Structure 1
Amino acid sequence: MRMFDLFYEDYFRMKRSDLIDAIRDSEGRTLMCETIISTFPLLDGISNPEAAAAFSADMITLNTFNFDAPFIFGYDDEKVSPYHGIPTYAKALSEIVERNRENPDYIQNFKKIIGRFLGVNLEPVPDGSTYPEGLRCSEKNLKKVAELGFDYIVITANPSTGVTSEGILEGIRRARSILGEDTLIVAGKMHGAGAGNIYDLETIKGFVSAGADVILIPAPGTVPGFTVDLVKGFIDAIHDEGALAMTTIGTSQEGSTESYIESVAQMSKMAGADIQHTGDAGGSGMTPPENIMRLSITMRGRRHTYRRMARSSRR
């Protein structure tokens, strides 16, 4: 089945191979939205992943999800408020985190609200990094990925993490050995975060050989010099290796104008992207909803966009 034809129950029965087939069958019409969940959401009382799903995202990536302190703003704090006083609010949040730590169904319960494929960002930071342990691409966290039931992981680099191409390569190997064949692995960089960029074919081939299913690269028009022809060359190489390609908007341009979003969506389609991604830096930890919908309409038309939006409420 194509991604935009899926029903609610499909998101709970499909594994890695099914997900790959759905993306391929969609012919470049799969939309991933990345959302920060460790800050107040764009809409009070509604988590950013919920908003992204409502505006037609197929795959939703949680950024800054801390495995040592699992908490999603707009979802876990629905019944508590800072208006009751900061000390009371902080105490309530701490208690919620403690409960979430002991809940093996935490992500699956959240997924029942979202009705979409859920993934998580993990950072393969270098030794000696001060980056929080709960956000790292570590053996401990990868085991929790499997236990909690995430559909996929994204091995990448947030700003100022010091992540290198070699670190990502090692992270892919570690992830595949721990997660086995059930979890989709996405890997790469979408901008100049970490230490240097990955813009050479040998690195891409190495990622695929290590076990990555999807290679992410900057979308045309996001990173300086990234033209349609350049991106198409990378995507052709990714496809030749048997992997899928995802173009990303991760340069705060996800908060740009709808006309810009439309332009990037067209260029990414021309370059051959299997998945189009929009990031979390538009404001309050997500792409503005109207930009999500504009990207979706451009890449797959109003019919499939509105069906995706409407079908999210079907059980």
Structure 2
Amino acid sequence: MRMFDLFYEDYFQMKREDILSAITSTEGRTIMAETIISTFPLLDGVSNPETAAAFSADMVTLNTFNFEAPFIFGYDDSHLSPLIGIPDYTTEIQKIILKNKEDHQYIQKLKKIVGRFLGVNLEPVPEDSTYPKGLRCTAENLQKVKTLGFDYVVITANPSTGVTSEGILEGIRTARTILGTEILIVAGKMHGAGAGNIYDVETIEAFIAAGADIILLPAPGTVPGFTVELTKNFIDLIHKKGALAMTTIGTSQEGATETFIESVAQMSKMAGADIQHTGDCGVSGMTPPENLLRMSITIRGRRHTYRKMSRSPHRVR
């Protein structure tokens, strides 16, 4: 079954192997949208994950989701909009966070609204890092990934976090041990975030051997020197080793012109990407909706794009 053929109930029944099969069957036409959820969303009263799903994303990644203070702007506070600017607003948010921390169905409730596969970014920062504990790739947070029912975890690096290739590798090993066989592991870096780069054969092979299902790479045209040919060579290696490949736009170019998005989408498909990703630094914590739409139309045409957008999130067979 292909990603754009899924019905609402499929998103709640499919596990790791099923999702991997769906991505493979979709033949390079799967879209992942990364969204920042720790600040006011693009649209008042609508969370960024909801907007990304509405504009045809198949997989939605939550960035800056804090496991020690779970709160999603546009979702948890939509009923508080009239209170913005009033002291009670902060107090109410703290009450919601405390409630969310005790709610093991929190992500499943969000998923019922978004109607897509949901993932979360975790960062294997150095032990002496001042990075918030709730955002780190630790055994404690990985257990919460499992408890809350995320479909996948992305082990990666935001800028200036000090994350190294060795840190990502150890994060993959820990994640596979804790998450078992039901949750997908995506790993890699989109650009020079963290510390150093990972763009070499040995590191990619090590990530896959440690248990990564999907390796992320910069999309052609987003990082200096990343041509279609170079990206294809890496993707061929990833496929040979039995994993899938995701090309990413994580350089704020997700907020560039629609023409640029179309060009990158074409090049990524030529390179053999299984998933195409758009980042969260376009506008207000997500890719501009029109750019998501352009990527979707480019790699799968209007028919599949409009079907994805038009089918009611709660429509069942």
Q: Which runs of 5+ in 2 are unaligned?
A: none
Return the offset for 1:37: 0.2
- Whether 1:276 and 2:276 are equivalent positions in the alignment is yes
| Counterpart contact for 1:82–1:89, Cα < 8 Å | no
Q: What residue number does 1:38 align with? A: 38
Classify 1:271/1:84 alpha carbon distance in 2 versus 1 (closer, same or farther; 3 Å): closer
| Counterpart contact for 2:45–2:81, Cα < 8 Å | no
Q: What residue number does 1:181 align with? A: 181
Give the 5 Å matches for 1:197-276. 197-276=197-276
Give the 5 Å matches for 1:1-315. 1-81=1-81, 83=83, 85-315=85-315
Structure 2: distance between partners of 1:17 and 1:171: 21
Q: Normalising to structure 2: TM-score of the pair?
A: 0.98
Q: Deviations over 1:93-144 (max 9, x none)?
A: 0000000001010000000000000000000001100000000000000000
Q: Which amino acid aligns with 1:45?
A: G
Q: Which amino acid aligns with 1:195?
A: A
Q: Which amino acid aligns with 1:43?
A: L
Secondary structure in structure 1 of the residue aligned to 2:309 = helix
Percent identity between matched residues is: 76
Return the offset for 1:312: 4.1
Secondary structure in structure 2 of the residue aligned to 1:79 = helix
Secondary structure in structure 2 of the residue aligned to 1:32 = strand
Cα RMSD over matched residues? 0.8
Structure 2: distance between partners of 1:60 and 1:101: 21
Q: Which amino acid aligns with 1:226?
A: F
Structure 2: distance between partners of 1:119 and 1:187: 12
| Counterpart contact for 1:255–1:287, Cα < 8 Å | yes
Q: Normalising to structure 1: TM-score of the pair?
A: 0.99
Structure 2: distance between partners of 1:290 and 1:300: 15
Structure 2: distance between partners of 1:165 and 1:296: 31
Return the offset for 1:187: 0.1
Q: Which runs of 5+ in 1 are unaligned?
A: none
Structure 2: distance between partners of 1:236 and 1:175: 25
Q: Which amino acid aligns with 2:47?
A: S
Structure 1: distance between partners of 2:206 and 2:287: 31
Return the offset for 1:83: 4.0
Q: Which amino acid aligns with 2:162?
A: G
Q: Which amino acid aligns with 2:113?
A: I
State the 4+ residue runs in structure 1 displaced beyond 4 angstroms: none
Classify 1:292/1:239 alpha carbon distance in 2 versus 1 (closer, same or farther; 3 Å): same
Structure 2: distance between partners of 1:80 and 1:158: 30
Classify 1:154/1:285 alpha carbon distance in 2 versus 1 (closer, same or farther; 3 Å): same
Q: Which amino acid aligns with 1:236?
A: D
Return the offset for 1:157: 0.1
Return the offset for 1:87: 1.4
Return the offset for 1:313: 2.9
Q: Deviations over 1:54-91 (max 9, x none)?
A: 00000000000000000000000011136454311000
Return the offset for 1:314: 3.7
Q: Which amino acid aligns with 2:165?
A: S
| Counterpart contact for 1:53–1:312, Cα < 8 Å | no
Classify 1:235/1:40 alpha carbon distance in 2 versus 1 (closer, same or farther; 3 Å): same
Q: Which amino acid aligns with 1:179?
A: L
Aligned residues: 315
Q: Deviations over 1:214-262 (max 9, x none)?
A: 0000000000110000000000000010000000000000000000000
Secondary structure in structure 1 of the residue aligned to 2:80 = coil
- The answer to which of 76-85 and 217-226 deviates more is 76-85
| Counterpart contact for 1:220–1:268, Cα < 8 Å | yes
Structure 1: distance between partners of 2:96 and 2:162: 32
Structure 1: distance between partners of 2:29 and 2:109: 27
Q: Which amino acid aligns with 1:25?
A: S
| Counterpart contact for 2:63–2:121, Cα < 8 Å | yes
Structure 2: distance between partners of 1:246 and 1:85: 41
Secondary structure in structure 2 of the residue aligned to 1:220 = coil
Structure 1: distance between partners of 2:111 and 2:124: 25
Q: Deviations over 1:138-189 (max 9, x none)?
A: 0000000000000000000001000000000000000000000000000000
